[in-house]
Amino acid sequence: MDRLYDLPGLGMLAKVARVKRDLAGIRRRLRATAPEVKELRAAALRAVCLHAFRRSPFYRELWSAASLREDDLSALRDPSLLPVVSKEQLRSAWPDGLCADPAALRRAREIRTTGSTGTPVRVALDREKVLFTIALFSRPSMEMHLGLRLERGLHVMVRSPQAIEGQALREFPAAEEVFLDALSPVEVLIEELNRRRPQYVLSYPGIVGAIATEARRRGVAPWQPEQFVFSGESLNPRVVASIRRTFPRAGLAQAYCATEVGGIAVQCHEGKGLHTLEYQTVVEVLDDEDRPAAPGVTGRIVVTDLRNRVTPVIRYAGLADLGAWAEERCTCPLAAYPLLARLEGRAAEAIRVPGGPVVHQFALTSALERLEEVAAFQVRHETATRVRLLVVPEPSAGEARREALRAEAADFLRPLLPGITIEVELVPALGREPGSHKTPAVVSLVPRDGGLE
């Protein structure tokens, strides 16, 4: 099928037809009942695991070592019987361990993460998985999932051919008219927003937050979209507040996705969290012993891609994201799908107190939310005993207020970080991570084993 998609003329028709079929399939799945969702998930899980056992040396060896046989996988209903896979394991297995078919690898699209946690990962996707992902993040799909009415769009995303977001341009060059490279200078993004005047914008929270802050700093009035749809990063309350100051009438909606697997979850219509897309990705929340975390209890998120047949990603903990299941169900149109109450950032976005606990991003950002006249901040854990806090004051903040911010910011963090020196630096803007659209709220440069000096 992949070869058909590359034929002149006919290939484009085949790709359009495939995306339409995928959209029809998504529509049917969103109408399913909770028992139907569970059955569909179990069938897809068995199919991808059997495929991995037969075609992937890595998974065959891993599962055989756990005394799992093909018969066990044929009866599988729950991923908890399978070993959890780390980022290091997935990286080490690339590419031949994950896929024993060189021809399939040659035809596949290689996708890479930005390496924002320090260790980039590669996966290979066949064209059907690529086209499904394009369908999933298309305007009709966003309307179905989020219950929105969307019209003129602008997708401010990374356009690299090795980014999952950039695949839309590779398959459909005409998408150029709604695409804008998220790695462009912020002033260019503001100019293009004003020139194109979109009704909605699909982008990353950090990028829209940078646009909002820069527009206020320059005293310019940017075009006001009616709706922002965010993906690729967890929502930082401070960034959300900054966006709302610059775009007060815009609706804000969130989708949760990752390069390694694609779409994971979308925002609940009642605002109670994120519904996991069980027709595409199986989501688990596990404790430190790899047991299911109880609702309301924070654990690490583990995912299984139900659609990648080239380099399967099964029970993968390498996202390093933290979250918790909701304790109560909602009644929105997505109620058949499990509900994550919250995402709390990445395990890598945390600080270990010398001789004490690990303080995660959620606690750090919550403490700093009390700061007034602050557009953005970033906590940088540079050594085991030193934190540098970058603070972007609002343009309205006078000199006296700016100086007061230094002491207040350190005072808010000090109870959480005993034994750690806190240095506060006022900056005009936060820089992005090299080659990435992300501006994380917390960056730890200290080795995960503690790295105490």
DSSP letters spanning 64-91: HHTT--HHHHHT---GGGSPPB-HHHHH
Q: Determine the 3-state secondary structure of 56 from DSSP.
A: coil
pLDDT band of 453, cuts 50, 70, 90? very low
Question: Residue 135: is its pLDDT beyond 50?
Answer: yes
**Rounded mean pLDDT, 417-435:** 84
Question: Residue 85: is its pLDDT beyond 80?
Answer: yes
Rounded Cα distance, 292 and 284, in Å: 7
Contact 218, 170 (CB under 8 A): no
pLDDT of res. 323 = 92
Q: Pick 350-444's CATH classification: 3.30.70.100, 3.60.130.10, 3.30.300.30, 3.40.50.2300.
A: 3.30.300.30
Q: What angle do CA 323, 324, 325 make, to 5 degrees?
A: 135
- In the chain, where are the structural domains located? 350-444
Rounded Cα distance, 265 and 254, in Å: 9
* Segment 150-201, tens digit of pLDDT: 999 999 998 888 888 899 999 999 999 999 998 888 999 999 999 999 999 9
Q: Determine the 3-state secondary structure of 41 from DSSP.
A: helix
pLDDT of res. 174 = 92
What DSSP assignment string belongs to 138-169? SHHHHHHHHT----SEEEEE---TTSGGGHHH
* Segment 256-296, tens digit of pLDDT: 999 999 999 999 999 999 999 999 999 999 998 999 999 99
pLDDT of res. 435 = 56
The torsion angles phi and psi of 425, rounded to 5 degrees, stand at: -125, 125
Pairing of strands 122-125, 227-230: unpaired
Mean pLDDT of the chain: 90
What residues are paired with 256 via a beta bridge? 265
pLDDT band of 119, cuts 50, 70, 90? low
Pick from 349, 444, 450, 369: which is nearest to 413 by CA? 369
* Segment 26-46, tens digit of pLDDT: 999 999 999 999 999 999 999
Look-up: residue for tokens 């394009």? 134
Question: Residue 424: is its pLDDT beyond 50?
Answer: yes
Question: Residue 92: is its pLDDT beyond 60?
Answer: yes
pLDDT of res. 39 = 96
Look-up: residue for tokens 């990705």? 281
pLDDT band of 436, cuts 50, 70, 90? low
Amino acid at 273: G
**Rounded mean pLDDT, 362-375:** 78
